[in-house]
Amino acid sequence: PTYRIRHAQRLFYTNEIPEGESLALRPAHIQEFDFLYESTALMRVEDEQYDPRKRDAELWSKTIKALLAQQRILIGEQDNKPCFIIEIGTRCSIGAQVGSTYVVPGFRGQGLSVKGMRGLINCLLPSCSTISLLAHEENIPAIACYRRTGLHEATPFRLIEFIGQ
């Protein structure tokens, strides 16, 4: 089949509690659906250059509702307003794969991404041995955040998109 490389990515991981100030995280609530429907879609627009609402709004709505029901979206707040959002992809005692990290635009530039990542690690490591995530190589702010958080860099990956036979 014909294909193209869509994104070069880097694996980051940790099995250590980070030092420094962290942001307390909590599971998102169904009452926050409208905010999360919008915010999580905007994250994908910024990070992956596609809007899942335009591809299939009903499927996106079902996806967010399923993540909420499974408590796989965590939120950090500042001044009683959501400022940091992250999704848990998979999770078991061996490890957790996380992604879709998003700092709400009005809160950017305040170091909340690092504090939020520390909060995530503090939240998940007691119940699993390793936390990992993938970052697009072009996403310099995300990579800088993960390095400042203390995550270790590992193997590069490429996402391949099949475009025909």
Tens of pLDDT along 139-163?
899 999 999 999 999 988 777 777 7
Average pLDDT over residues 124-133: 95
Residue from 132, 121, 134, 130 nearest 95 by CA: 130
Question: What's the rounded mean pLDDT across residues 116-120?
Answer: 97
Residue 29 · residue 165 · CB < 8 Å:
no
Residue 83: what pLDDT? 97
What gap in Å lies between CA 132 and CA 138, rounded to an integer?
18
Higher pLDDT, 3 or 53: 53
Cα 19 to Cα 32: distance, rounded to the nearest angstrom: 30
Order of all β-strands in the sheet with 130-136: 25-27, 73-78, 81-91, 95-103, 130-136, 2-14, 152-164
pLDDT: which is higher, 159 or 78: 78
- Predicted confidence at residue 137, as pLDDT, reads 87
Measured between alpha carbons, how far is 158 from 148 in angstroms, rounded to an integer?
Answer: 24
Query: pLDDT (tens digit, 9 = 90+) per residue, 24-74?
Result: 999 999 999 999 999 999 999 988 888 999 989 999 999 999 999 999 999
The predicted model scores a pTM of 0.89
